[in-house]
Amino acid sequence: MIFVTGGAGFIGSNFVLNWLKEETNSIINLDKLIYSGNLLNLKSLKNNPLHIFVQGDIQDRALIRKLLNQYKPQAIVHFAAETHVDRSIYDPTPFIQTNVIGTLHLLQETLDYWKNLNEHSKNHFRFLHVSTDEVYGSLRQQDEPFKETSRYAPNSPYSASKAASDHLVRAFHNTYGLPTLITHCSNNYGPFQFPEKLVPLMIINATQGKILPIYGDGLNIRNWLYVNEHYEALCLVLSKGKPGEHYNIGSETEITNMDLVHTICSILDDLKPNSPYVPHASLIQFIKDRPGHDRRYSIDCSKMRQELGWKPKENFKANFHKTIEWYLNNMTWVEKVMSGEYRKWIQLHYKETS
């Protein structure tokens, strides 16, 4: 049994779905089901006895304690977080509450649980905290990629809250001996990503003939990782990672936001040649840059390769092609999540009038 937090969100749900395809260990899945957590992501697991879903908040210590004592997991994989930089700029408070206070409460209850395990179970227990490359801050074009030893320099309220949670996880290992692991992933893409994020937003807007908004000059550089490859890396860290260590998980692809959007448009042109919006790149519009917009992210994943034998398997364009096809084939899912809270956010953020 493993305990997953945030398992109805984008990366969390992909982890849960892949795990239950490949493993025999069951999952207790805790998710608050705020706007970005969606049970539709887990629809295929409705009658799966290995998946136990609980709606709840990681800030609820009594609930965490109850679940740990009831199900006695061998590991915790902690995805639950507020994740969108733009939302954190509008209101940092939920990010501190969930990412910092929530992680602290989860750590406190986990520590109490772990202390009462027998020696064998204690030695094999793991707490895997899934973090982000954004805690390292921004790079210039000529700078070397971030390593696990790079100093933290978060530039947004979101990345600051994740940095704080990382420090708490590290402190619980160094102070109390809790066997923790921390991963820093680059930008993920793939199925079930909430449409406020860049990749699904561009796909969905393009298919509907809406503008494709790009911040600033579009030359901000990101490293992109297919979510299923992230899953494989996390499993390796969970099984072979050394407690107390950090691991960078990313791809070998660095690309500007502008080039990324053009890649999406090019694939859509091929997949939907009869669309009235071909060429889809004609929908691109530049908008005012967001505050504190990091110029470049790049991470060195050589530690994952050398110590755990992991590197991404598939190429960037093939994975993007699969991702775009998934959204085109799952427009019912898209329509259901693009309502209510999400619509209000888009109208506020992009001043959408249509």
Mean pLDDT of the chain, nearest integer: 93
Classified as helix, coil or strand, 345 is helix
- Does 62 fall in a domain? yes
User: Is the Cα torsion angle 347, 350, 353, 354 positive or negative in sign?
Assistant: negative
**Do 137 and 154 meet the contact criterion of CB atoms below 8 Å apart?**
yes
User: Which of 46-60, 72-86, 263-277, 308-322 is predicted with the least confidence, judged by mean pLDDT?
Assistant: 308-322
- Does 350 fall in a domain? no
- Does 323 fall in a domain? no
As a whole number, mean pLDDT of residues 204-226 equals 94
- Does 264 fall in a domain? no
CA 182 – CA 241 distance, rounded (Å): 9
pLDDT score recorded for residue 338: 75
pLDDT score recorded for residue 292: 81
pLDDT score recorded for residue 354: 35
Q: Is residue 350 classed exposed, middle or buried when 0-12, 13-18 and 19+ CB atoms within 10 A define those classes?
A: middle
pLDDT at residue 93 tops 70: yes
Contacts of 177 by beta carbon, 8 Å cutoff, 6+ apart: none
Contacts of 273 by beta carbon, 8 Å cutoff, 6+ apart: none
Give the residue from 76, 117, 244, 109 showing the smallest Cα distance to 175.
244
The first and second tokens of residue 8, run together, are 């109805």
pLDDT at residue 219 tops 50: yes
- Does 22 fall in a domain? yes
pLDDT score recorded for residue 350: 57
pLDDT in tens, 194-210: 888 899 999 999 999 99
| CATH number of the domain within which 184 lies | 3.40.50.720
Classified as helix, coil or strand, 268 is helix
Residues in the chain: 354
pTM above 0.95, yes or no: no
CA 191 – CA 16 distance, rounded (Å): 13
Give the residue from 1, 24, 29, 25 showing the smallest Cα distance to 14.
29
**Do 37 and 11 meet the contact criterion of CB atoms below 8 Å apart?**
no
pLDDT score recorded for residue 75: 98
As a whole number, mean pLDDT of residues 36-61 equals 92
Q: Say which residue the tokens 């795990």 belong to.
A: 19
pLDDT score recorded for residue 342: 53
CA 81 – CA 103 distance, rounded (Å): 9
The first and second tokens of residue 64, run together, are 């965490």
- Does 278 fall in a domain? no
Enclosing domain of residue 248: 2-189+225-252+293-315
Q: Would you please indicate which residues are annotated as catalytic (active-site) residues?
A: 133-134, 158
The first and second tokens of residue 280, run together, are 């889809």
pLDDT in tens, 22-37: 988 999 999 998 877 7
Q: Is residue 165 classed exposed, middle or buried when 0-12, 13-18 and 19+ CB atoms within 10 A define those classes?
A: buried
Contacts of 27 by beta carbon, 8 Å cutoff, 6+ apart: 1, 2, 3, 4, 7, 16, 19, 20, 50, 51, 52
- Does 284 fall in a domain? no
pLDDT at residue 348 tops 70: no
- Render the burial of 85-108: b for 16+ CB within 10 Å, e for the rest: bbbbbeebeebbebbbbbbbbbbb
Domain count across the chain: 1
CA 160 – CA 167 distance, rounded (Å): 11
CA 78 – CA 131 distance, rounded (Å): 9
- Does 210 fall in a domain? no
pLDDT score recorded for residue 20: 97
pLDDT in tens, 55-79: 999 999 999 999 999 999 999 999 9
pLDDT in tens, 113-157: 999 999 999 999 999 999 999 999 999 889 999 999 999 999 999
pLDDT score recorded for residue 353: 37
User: Which of 50-59, 103-112, 227-236, 248-257 is predicted with the least confidence, judged by mean pLDDT?
Assistant: 248-257
Question: Distance between alpha carbon 207 and the CA centroid of its chain, in Å?
Answer: 24
